[in-house]
Amino acid sequence: MTTASTSAGTARGRAGRVLTAAALAWIGAAAGQVAWSQEQAPTAEARTTRSGVYTAEQAARGESTFGSLCTGCHTLADFSTPAFAKKWNGLPLADFFALISETMPEDFPGSLKPDEYAQVTAYVLRVNRMPAGQSALPADREALKQIRFELSDD
């Protein structure tokens, strides 16, 4: 092999590596753009507690649970005051669900089934004059992150 052919082969090798690196950089940038656009893509209209996110039956079961387990420490006023509305308004419903499911009842935190915590949450929504709907409030925190507290201001 001659020096000229070796130099030509080396140049082609470098050029190929540069083109490969450029192609990979372009693909990486394109993939990043796709990921960014998916993150920025508008989602369906946000659901709020005014959207009918629980059923009347679910709230009735929550009222029963609240009456038997919660009234030893709480009154309905604890969950329907302007201070309650100010604290929770605009936050994901998952935050309230997490608080009660991790800290209540006080003497045995976390002892209820997730559905029971969802029922008590539904009852609190009813106490705050939020409308009932056709679907039960989920007992899943990820799903509840998609629902925002929007309490009545009247």
Per-residue pLDDT reduced to its tens digit, 45-84: 679 999 999 999 999 999 999 999 999 999 999 999 999 9
**At 152, is the pLDDT very low, low, confident or very high (cuts 50, 70, 90)?**
low
What is the spatial distance between Cα 65 and Cα 78, in angstroms, rounded to a whole number? 16
What is the spatial distance between Cα 4 and Cα 139, in angstroms, rounded to a whole number? 74
Is pTM, for the whole model, over 0.85?
no
**At 11, is the pLDDT very low, low, confident or very high (cuts 50, 70, 90)?**
very low
Query: Are 48 and 146 in contact, with CB atoms under 8 Å apart?
Result: no
Query: Among 154, 120, 150, 153, which residue's Cα sits nearest to residue 51?
Result: 150
**At 29, is the pLDDT very low, low, confident or very high (cuts 50, 70, 90)?**
very low
What is the spatial distance between Cα 7 and Cα 120, in angstroms, rounded to a whole number? 78
* Interacting residues of 69 by C-beta distance below 8 A, sequence separation 6+: 105, 112
